């Protein structure tokens, strides 16, 4: 999970990704950032994030993203 925090903090160092739970809902991550983030996550964790998984619930917090990543790595 530390690698995920590093990626997130590199993309937006002003956000506290350890505690924030409404990254999308509060517009802390915009659509272009999410697209860049998806690419970073796919490369870093050797996964493919299907379009059906690109929903706010999967990107509102680092924990939600980690749950998505681990689920996709297990498939």
29-45: pLDDT as tens digits: 999 999 999 999 999 99
The confidence score (pLDDT) of residue 44 equals 98
Q: List, for the chain, all residue ranges whose pLDDT scores fall below the cut of 70.
A: none
The confidence score (pLDDT) of residue 52 equals 98
Q: How is 24-73 classified by DSSP, letter by letter?
A: TTTTSS-HHHHHHHHHHHHHHHT----GGG-SHHHHSSHHHHHHHHHHHH
The confidence score (pLDDT) of residue 15 equals 96
Which phi and psi angles does 12 have, rounded to 5°? -150, 90
Domains and CATH numbers, the chain: 2-12+22-74 (1.10.1200)
């Amino acid at each position: 999970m530390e690698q995920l925090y590093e990626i997130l903090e590199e993309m937006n160092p002003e956000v506290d990704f350890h505690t924030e739970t409404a990254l999308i809902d509060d517009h802390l991550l915009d659509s272009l950032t999410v697209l860049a983030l998806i690419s970073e996550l796919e490369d870093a964790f050797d996964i493919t994030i299907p379009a059906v998984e690109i929903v706010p619930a999967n990107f509102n917090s680092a924990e939600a993203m980690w749950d998505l990543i681990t689920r996709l790595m297990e498939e």
